[in-house]
Amino acid sequence: MTDALTINTKYLLTALMHSGVRHFVVSPGSRNTPIALLLAQLAESEKIALFVDVDERSAAFFALGIAKVTLKPVVVLGTSGTAITEFTSAVAEASVSHIPLIVLSADRPQELQNNGAPQTISQTHLFSHFVKQDLELTLQDNHPDVPEYIAYEVQKLIYQAQIAPRGPIHINLPLRKPLMPDMNDDTPLRVKQLTWTMAPNIVPQNTLEALQNKKILLLCGPNESEDYSELLRSFSEKYHIPVIADVLSRVRYTHTITGIDQFIKADILNDDALPDIVIRFGATPIAGQLLGWLKKHEVTTWYVGEDAGNDHSRHASHIVPIAVANFLEQLTQIQNNSTVQSEFYTVWQTMNQKYQNQLMHNVGELSLIDAIDHFTHDAQPIFVSNSMPIRDMDNFFLGRHTHNIYANRGANGIDGVVSSAMGMAATSQEQRSLLLIGDIALFHDMNGLMMGKQYQLPLDIIVTNNNGGSIFSFLPQAQQQEYFDTLFGTPLGLDLSRIAMLYDLTYEKISTTQGLGDILRQSVVGTRIIEYSSNRQDNYEQHQDFTQMLREHFNE
């Protein structure tokens, strides 16, 4: 006689597999014992990557990092109590950045709710602010319909997570003692696999015709849903469409426009650069002034993509919620006035070249970006932290060798960056990955380094250590000197060599960017910290100087 817990849990896990889940991150606990044990057993025969991360906050961000790279749903499993609330930040980030993060939370059964039983909080609908759907499943119910029900509902939920707008899902699992599954059960499973046929993504012909003979500029924002990089690149070159590519767009390379925020800041864009129509893909660009510039110049803006539509500039007027790849394929049918478009393309390419030439004069943290750009290997995955590094990357990283850049850019938190980068690194064990991060964000998620130690993850962490939060130097409170450093600068005096020592990581320190290439070429196993010492005041001034020089360079 098979016990209900064992068979239902196996149906749950098989349904997840049928839905394409191959990565599981487990934070151990007592209440989630049956799921963890049966998952570990399943992982012996099926192709599953199973990670154990004892810190739940880290675990959820680690799972998020995996999902960003694989574009697949990833499960994080936790135990009852505040362990589950620790997932909240990553779930919020997944919500805003449209990541199919699947939260499985073990819970205590109804008779232990709300009455002082230990390790019990209100978990039903806990993530209702952030998830697309949630569901509570009773795995210990032995009604004969239950296994099949679980298999169906779970596949429906994971499908929901993956259709636009993508997002996280929460499955809450109240469990009674005894919690031990039958590890010797060999009941044959009959889990029906659902297949979903999607409606074709066809753009109506009259929509396409509206683009006829228009000067078109493509604006590619952060993209974590579909890979259209090759298609876009050949499309842009063949039809001479300039592309402003956010560093997180995964389409940036040296021919796409870099530094648009600086262009606007330095006020060097003239009327030749104005398109008739901008077609936006992806999420909100990092370049903070770009959308406002489009609005100010009343440039007709379309917003295309399955998750499209969130425009806080309230300017995009035509939303096309169709996959970008499909849209681009159909767009080739109409592009025709090649002369006008070619001239427009040249305007932008000329500016782009001029801008790129200036980068070689960069110093400090700005030059570090250029060094990273030079020294990374082809298609290398790079994770970039908020708040300063991602802005610098957007302005100064040309994508000479890679466009596989990732960040937690939904809610822009600094709380789970190391763990997410570790998750990214875990998906590409055969090549080294890279993380660029400041000292404050590193501190927030130092626990994420434990995954680097335990799984020997091949990640180089470049830390710009300027002893505090450098972003605040750019904000009005920098004038309030009396309280500034205590409230905003917040120097922590971290000794990065000691952090490396604590986690048994390789440690290097550079004071100029020259040495970076040599270090990156060294053969090393596991995670490495590379400290780049910087200074908040210098960094602030170097950024101001850059904009000033850019203005002068363009007005020459």
**How many Cα neighbours within 13 Å face the side chain of 413?**
21
Least spacing, CB of residue 423 vs a copy of itself, in Å: 16
Residue number with CB closer to a copy of itself (31 or 401): 31
Rounded to a whole number of angstroms, the distance between the first and last alpha carbons of the chain is 85
Q: What does the DSSP 8-state code read for residue 122?
A: -
Helices (H), 202-314: 205-209, 229-239, 260-265, 290-296
In sequence order, what E strands does 29-131 have?
A: 49-52, 74-78, 101-107
Q: Smallest distance from the beta carbon of 342 to a copy of itself, in angstroms?
A: 32
Please report how close the Cβ of residue 47 comes to a copy of itself at its closest, in angstroms.
Answer: 18
- Contact criterion met (CB below 8 Å) for 529 and 499: yes
Cβ proximity of 467 and 536 under 8 Å: yes
Task: Tell the smallest beta-carbon distance from residue 34 to a copy of itself (Å).
Answer: 9
DSSP string, 473-520: GGSGGGG-HHHHIIIII------HHHHHHHTT-EEEEESSSHHHHHHH
| Beta carbon nearer to a copy of itself, 122 or 514 | 122
| Least distance to a copy of itself, CB of residue 414, Å | 8
Q: Write down the least CB distance from residue 440 to a copy of itself, Å.
A: 6
C-alpha to C-alpha distance for 409 and 246, rounded to whole angstroms = 12
Residue number with CB closer to a copy of itself (445 or 460): 445
d(CA 246, CA 287): 8
Output 343 or 495, the one with its CB closest to a copy of itself.
Answer: 495
Distance of CA 417 to the CA centre of its chain: 10
Nearer to a copy of itself, 34 or 458 (CB): 34
Cβ at position 530, least distance to a copy of itself in Å: 18
Q: Which is nearer to a copy of itself, 122 or 511 (CB)?
A: 122
Closest CA to 299 of 324, 285, 317: 317
Cβ contact 216:275 at 8 Å? yes
Tokens of 66: 């995996």
Whichever of 56 and 261 has its CB closer to a copy of itself, that residue is 56
Measured from the CB atom, the residue of 370 and 392 that comes closer to a copy of itself is: 392
Nearer to a copy of itself, 100 or 413 (CB): 413
Residue 485 Cβ vs a copy of itself, minimum distance, rounded to whole Å: 10
Q: Rounded distance, CA 321 to CA 163, Å?
A: 11
Task: In whole angstroms, give the CA distance from residue 108 to residue 122.
Answer: 10
Closer residue to a copy of itself, CB minimum distance, 301 or 376: 301
**In whole angstroms, what is the distance from residue 29 CA to residue 52 CA?**
11
> Which tokens belong to 266?
């330095």
- Per DSSP, the three-state class of 500 is helix
- Within 10 angstroms of residue 110's Cβ, the number of other Cβ atoms is 12
Least Cβ distance, residue 349 to a copy of itself (angstroms): 29
Map residue 16 onto helix, strand or coil. helix
| 8 Å CB contact between 308 and 321 | yes
Least CB distance to a copy of itself at residue 54 (A): 5
